[in-house]
Amino acid sequence: MRNNSILLIYTGGTIGMHKDAETGSLIPFDFTRILEQIPELKLIDKKIETIAFDKPIDSSNARPYHWKKLAELIEENYDNYDGFVILHGTDTMAYTASALSFMLENLSKPVILTGSQLPIGDLRTDAKENIITSIEIAGTYEDEKPVVPEVAIYFEFKLLRGNRATKYSSEHFNAFDSPNYLPLAQSGVFLKFFKHRILPVPDGIFHAHKEIAENVIILKIHPALTEVQLSGILNIPHLKAVVLETYGAGNALTEKWFLDLIKKAIHEKSIHIINISQCHSGGISPYKYETGKKLMETGVFNGKDMTTEAALAKMMYLLGKNLSKKAIKQAFERPIRGDISI
């Protein structure tokens, strides 16, 4: 049932800052007074309510605990709103969006993350347009169904699937990119949705998964990687999974010490190791070159064209479900939230 209302969740970040008149330093502003900062919101035919974290965080301090808190807030308020807009710092926004995409199962309402490169009080801020359009997207329904029933990031006129997005610029307003999946919508004079790219409304009952594993790391292959370094990493106590960023199409060292350590980690320590490309766009074609083929023969997962953020979040989510090793591999290597290209 439609409520004609949107919940705005403020977690922290640049978007919620304004300059102190006396000191000139950036301080958080009271988000319950958002209509004073953005009077244009009164033109939107939606009731807008706000919730703010008790202590706003810089997104550099975002932790899995905060993902769980956001999932809980959405679950608690799910029936009361048509959609949700999360205001979040840009540095870890893609990690949070990826995590929520997996944690929010059978999501049939929009969850839109946005932020800004300049504080909301700045003369040239990008915050206002990002917030206004995110709210409009979160409230867009057709035939009583949401147009965007998934977790997405809206930034600088583009709506991107949350688990396909990555931050690629620290200074441009166009800070996010979705290298392996085209935008879900484009904002201009008109708000244009590309419906064939958007996930369908699911049939199941909404459920928020809040049990996620945190003993997962990211390791980028580089020419100076040594046996001692890799051994030390793979012997971290209680380590459950490694997102391995390999060269190009999924290639890595073929030296015996490297392959032996990877095999031992997988088969003796039951560590899940994921092969993804460290390139910005494209995925892995691990059997194209001998260097990729030998790595895959050790038993690593095929991460295909996933982003690093999505691979990390998906593994954390799957490990939290207490599945068998085989079931985790099967689930990881197929798209479950539009996270992998078919």
Q: Can you give the pLDDT at residue 46?
A: 86
| CATH 3.40.50.1170-classified regions of the chain | 5-208
Each of the 342 residues of the chain gets a pLDDT tens digit; together they read 677 899 999 998 777 776 666 776 666 666 666 667 777 887 788 899 989 888 888 888 899 999 999 999 999 999 999 999 999 988 999 999 999 999 999 999 999 999 887 777 666 777 788 999 999 999 999 999 999 999 999 988 899 999 999 998 877 777 888 999 999 999 988 899 999 999 999 999 999 999 999 999 999 999 999 999 999 999 999 999 999 999 999 999 999 999 999 999 999 999 999 999 999 989 988 788 788 899 999 999 999 999 999 999 999 999 999 899 999 999 999 999 999 998
Q: What's the first-to-final CA gap in the chain, in angstroms?
A: 33
Give yes or no for a contact between 34 and 85, defined as CB atoms under 8 angstroms apart: no
Selected from 3.40.50.880, 3.40.50.1170, 3.30.1490.190, 3.10.20.30, the CATH number assigned to the domain covering 5-208 reads: 3.40.50.1170
**Beta-carbon contacts of residue 91 (< 8 Å; ≥ 6 apart):** 58, 59, 60, 62, 167
In angstroms, the CA 138 to CA 152 distance is 10
User: Which fold would CATH assign to domain 216-332?
Assistant: Rossmann fold (3.40.50)
Helix 93-103 vs helix 64-77: crossing angle, to nearest 10: 50
In angstroms, the CA 219 to CA 223 distance is 13
Written as six digits, the tokens of 174 are: 């166009």
| 14 carries an active-site annotation | yes
In angstroms, the CA 291 to CA 270 distance is 23
Of the listed 14, 90, 92, 96, which one is catalytic? 14
Written as six digits, the tokens of 268 are: 């003796």
Phi, psi of 188 (to 5 degrees): -150, -135
Give yes or no for a contact between 20 and 28, defined as CB atoms under 8 angstroms apart: no
| CATH 3.40.50.40-classified regions of the chain | 216-332
Between the CA of residue 60 and those of 102, 155, 200, what are the distances in Å?
A: 21, 19, 33
Between the CA of residue 167 and those of 45, 108, 163, what are the distances in Å?
A: 32, 26, 12
Read off the amino acid at residue 311: A
